[in-house]
């Protein structure tokens, strides 16, 4: 059975969101149209940004999914805190400050459309 390999995040402006994610994760798009931009995450998996016309992103303010950036577990508490400060310096909105959870140190940021991005150690 095929496994999921594309994660789509709905955004208001795909090219603008691509600049945000490209800067945040230091990566370049592999596919670009005016309404759909995709990044190769490796292993046949991609992150895609889709600005669907007719979808009111503000109509559903509660986000029920997250993009997660998993960092190396060794040194994770300090590296998670450092990454949070780096992103804050770029003007990224931090919606959940760094804290310790059962799986390790974590924080949550939001992209300009309110989509959530969690940073946590690799499981």
Q: Which domain holds residue 1?
A: 1-53
The reply to whether 69 and 113 lie within a common domain is yes
The reply to whether 82 and 108 lie within a common domain is yes
The reply to whether 80 and 121 lie within a common domain is yes
Residue 8 has pLDDT above 90, yes or no: no
3-state secondary structure the chain: CCCCCEEEEECCCHHHHHHHHHHHHCCCCCEECCCEEEEEEECCEEEEEECCCCCCHHHCCCCCCEEEEEECCCCHHHHHHHHHHHHHHCCCEEEEEEEEECCEEEEEEECCCCCEEEEEECC
33-62 pLDDT per residue, tens:
999 999 999 998 999 998 876 666 666 556
| pTM of the predicted protein model | 0.80
CATH of the domain at 8: 3.30.720.120
**Residue 58: inside a domain, yes or no?**
no
The reply to whether 39 and 79 lie within a common domain is no
Does 80 or 75 have the greater pLDDT score? 80
Does 115 or 19 have the greater pLDDT score? 19
Structural domains in the chain (count): 2
């Amino acid at each position: 059975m095929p496994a999921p390999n594309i994660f789509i995040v709905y955004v208001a402006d795909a090219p603008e969101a691509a600049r945000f994610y490209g800067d945040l994760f230091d990566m370049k798009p592999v596919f670009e149209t005016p309404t759909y931009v995709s990044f190769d995450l490796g292993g046949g998996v991609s992150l895609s940004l889709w600005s669907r016309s007719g979808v009111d992103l503000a109509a559903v303010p509660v986000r029920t999914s997250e993009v997660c950036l998993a960092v190396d577990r060794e040194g994770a508490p300090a590296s998670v805190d450092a990454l949070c400060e780096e992103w804050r310096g770029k003007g990224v909105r931090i919606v959940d400050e760094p804290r310790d959870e059962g799986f390790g140190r974590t924080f949550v940021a939001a992209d300009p459309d309110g989509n959530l991005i969690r940073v946590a150690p690799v499981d």
